[in-house]
Amino acid sequence: MAPGRYPIDQLAAFGDGPFSGNPAAVVRLPEWLADTVLQAIAAENNLAETAFLVERPGRRELRWFTPSCEVELCGHATLATAAVLFTQTGAVSPIRFQTRSGELAVAALPDGRLELDFPCQVPRPCHAPAELTRALGTPLLDVRRAANYLVRLADEAAVRALAPDMTMLARLGAFGVIATAPGETADYVARYFAPQFGVPEDPATGSSHCMLAPYWQEQLGGTAFSARQLSARGGWFACRLVEGRVRIAGHCVPYLRGEVML
């Protein structure tokens, strides 16, 4: 393990003020530490995601860890990382990151929001595993799958009322579950569960809209959507489909700044 002191910031992405949205930690490193150390830092932070950034000439490398594993794609921690670079280093928009999901960009919008440029993951119809149906305990009007399972429920009230059996959901293997329905004050609403990744319910999941936006385009038409995540903290998103990609915009609120001391 390389001893040192590394800057760490905690921010909440996709919220509408303090104590809303999804908290993420951002740790900036001069070089990559061992994966075991990165995982230990993420577990110690005990947030849904910790982002680790290494900057090299002409290249920014970004990785994301939950408290239990590394993940392929994360929206809110990418938004948080960009917010740190915009506010603390004077980075020029758009910021581009090299990740396990390819190059990802974040742009600063005139109204103060930040906008992710992420790949679409078009969900395909699939058979609902028995564990999924039993774990959710409510009628599923539609079941799709891409990076996660996507299930459509009757209405916003049904999404709010979900109380899944997390142990049973974890048996699905390497898939999270997105529950969605038409919204009352937004085009659509959703909740996201990933107990197998150490995140029973995520507060505000940017990457879920890689599936949700193309799904609701199929259902509603159009290319631009407002969305809410119905977690206890709440999440607010503006999504638009552009040339096979999804742009996901929201606010990012700083909470604390310090150092990781190893």
Which residues are designated catalytic?
A: 49
What are the distances in angstroms from CA 213 to CA 11, 37, 69, 71, 148? 25, 35, 26, 21, 14
Which are the contacts of 224, defined by CB distance < 8 A and separation ≥ 6?
Answer: 238, 239, 240, 241
| H/E stretch holding 39 | helix 35-45
Per-position DSSP letters for 91-129, written without gaps between them = PPSSEEEEETTEEEEEEE-TTS-EEEEEE----EE-PPP
Say how many C-beta atoms besides its own lie within 10 A of residue 223's C-beta.
12
Structure tokens that stand for 30 in this block: 């001069």
Asked if 50 and 81 count as a contact pair (C-beta separation under 8 A), the reply is no
Q: What is the dihedral of CA 235, 227, 241, 224, to 10 degrees?
A: -130
| H/E stretch holding 204 | none
Structure tokens that stand for 9 in this block: 């910031």
Structure tokens that stand for 121 in this block: 């993951």
